Chain A
Amino acid sequence: MNFKTSVRQVDGVTIVDCSGRITLGEGSVTLRDAVRELLSKGHKKILLNLGDVNYIDSSGIGELVSAFTTVRNQGGELKLLNLTKKVHDLLQITKLYTVFDVKDDEAVAVKAFS
């Protein structure tokens, strides 16, 4: 399944609904381009909804880290929403679960942005 994103706005937060696989190649590039485009338009409160991301490899994990640091370096915030068990487990074993701000409720996640 190809990786796709769609963007919506909720109370000043940009929610990126992601679906498919974030892997080396198309998936990683699509995510990178989506985040860069949002930042270029001044959207700095970004919530990545990964509820429909069923697979992620080490390149995809690296892309999430890159998105996190890129947004942070531009004075923004990036949080993760609705991790699947596979993605959750991968972030746990790579010790990234505590690096990211991970939420499982969209309304709570939106309110958590400063």
Chain B
Amino acid sequence: MTEQRVSYTLDSTLETVDSAEQTASRIAAESGFGEDEIMQISMAVREVVVNAVLHGNAYDPGKKVNLDFETTNNDLVITIRDQGNGLDPAKIPDPLSPDNLLKTSGRGIFLIRSFMDEVEIRPSKTGTEIKLVKHVRGPATGGKEASQ
């Protein structure tokens, strides 16, 4: 995998969600991941950006979403930042709990954790930064998580 880093600053719109997903898919393909992993990476990015646009920035045109892709010899590292009030991972309910199974929302972070090898959620008063890591030869599902 060739080492490189690219960054994007995106508006808080639904179009940003599709654009981020497509960019993630392209970079994952260029990084040598297989079809299933490309889908997992692009969907994880999509879910993070959905959270950033809807819940973080709340469609505020004055707030941006920053998207960084860094490829190293071993990993694809994706960092997404919003300018919202900060996502508290401790307050995210377990979507697999019988009480939550029929809820119509709340599965995004779960899918992100399922699809990526490492997930770090760093909330602050000025926004949330989520770092996603996919190992070049990492496990397909069942990633580790490190929340801060």
Contact = CB atoms under 8 A, between A and B. Distances in A.
A58 B114 CA distance: 12
Interface residues of A, number: 20
Say which size band chain B's interface belongs to.
20 to 34
A99 B105 contact: no
Contact of A94 (B14, B96, B104): B96
Interface string A11-33: 00000000000011100000000
Interface in B77-123: 95-96, 101-105, 107-108, 110-111, 114
Contacts of B95: 94
Interface of B is mostly: helix
Contacts of B47: 57-58
Interface of A: 23-25, 57-59, 61-63, 65-66, 68-69, 86, 90, 93-96, 99
Given A62-B107, A93-B141, 19 more contacts: A24-B14, A25-B14, A25-B17, A57-B43, A57-B46, A58-B50, A58-B105, A58-B108, A58-B111, A61-B107, A65-B104, A66-B104, A69-B102, A69-B104, A86-B39, A94-B95, A94-B111, A95-B101, A96-B101
